Amino acid sequence: MRFYLFLLTALASFSCGNSANVNMPPKPPVNANTKPASVPVYDFQIIKEYPHDPTDFTQGLEYHDGFLYEGTGGSRSNPVQPNDAKVYSSLRKVEYQTGKVLQKQDVPSDYFGEGITILGDKIFQITWHEGTAFVYNLSDLKLQKELRYPGQGWGLTNDGTNLFMSDGTHVIRVINPEDFKTVRTIVVNDESGKPIMQLNELEMVNGEIWANIWQTGWIIRIDPQTGKLLGRVDINKLADDVKDKEDDADVLNGIAYDKAGDRLFVTGKLWKKLYEIKVSVR
């Protein structure tokens, strides 16, 4: 009897096991050649060219109410030397059609200026190694105050409430503009999950962060909430042409967006021209 009961129990267990397996969804086949979905790549078309001061070591670029605002780099310990002339950091208001400087505020020579952004009636300018942000009146570029932050500063933009700051890594800090404390961070990776390093000058364009990749002709488009890569803009041909034609020209660095006119401007460090461009998917 015991043997008979054991046999019935074993058969029932085997039957239940088979029934469960039949109802399980099949596992997808493993394909070692499967690649992550790629993001769109955009080309550009030059719409117009404007003069640009070739001594400007461009670190930050903004368009606001018909004028261009530019933050430049250089310091006593790390001077920029186009044509053997030492150039230090500054903040400038420029008539972009002619390149004429309308207002200028020099940064103390011990500081190396980096990205800028306009929020309300203020201009924020960060510094490279000095951990200092300068806050200016938009109307006259007069210095209002200084704020401190840890680490390096590279690019700067804003979403109307908070600032977004790059530091040369793949991480963008979201910053409270009142005290420059980090609210949160976003991480920027490529399609395969690899960090995209050397995020540099930043610009908010229609709700996306556009970022120059230092030492390249690439601009990437980033979701400011998640850090997701949304696309790449290939400006390498323009960057290569400028460096071939202009002896002192350095890397592409500078994105400014005219929201009202839906116009995009780019330039580079020590470039002789500012370019209005239009991008389209490749």
Residue 263, pLDDT above cutoff 90: yes
Q: How far apart are CA 148 and CA 72, in angstroms?
A: 19
**What is the rounded (10 degree) CA torsion for 29, 31, 37, 43?**
-150
> Are the C-beta atoms of residues 146 and 139 closer than 8 Å to each other?
no
pLDDT digits (tens, 9 = 90+) for 2-22: 434 443 344 344 333 333 333
- Which tokens sit at 238? 């323009």
- Which tokens sit at 19? 């029934």
Phi then psi for residue 15, to 5 deg, are: -65, -45
Which amino acid is present at 214? W
Q: How far apart are CA 215 and CA 234, in angstroms?
A: 13
Q: How far apart are CA 91 and CA 105, in angstroms?
A: 5
Q: How far apart are CA 84 and CA 156, in angstroms?
A: 29
- Which tokens sit at 72? 């430049």
pLDDT at 47: 98
Half-sphere exposure of 226 (CA within 13 A, CB side): 5
Q: Angle at Cα 123 formed by Cα 105 and Cα 252, nearest 5°?
A: 80
pLDDT digits (tens, 9 = 90+) for 31-69: 445 566 799 999 999 999 999 999 999 999 999 999 999
Q: How far apart are CA 273 and CA 88, in angstroms?
A: 20
User: How much is the pTM?
Assistant: 0.86
* Beta strand 163-166 pairing with 41-51: unpaired
pLDDT at 79: 86
Separation of first and last alpha carbons in the chain: 78
Q: Does CATH number 3.90.420.10 belong to domain 38-281?
A: no
**Hey, where are the domains in the chain?**
38-281
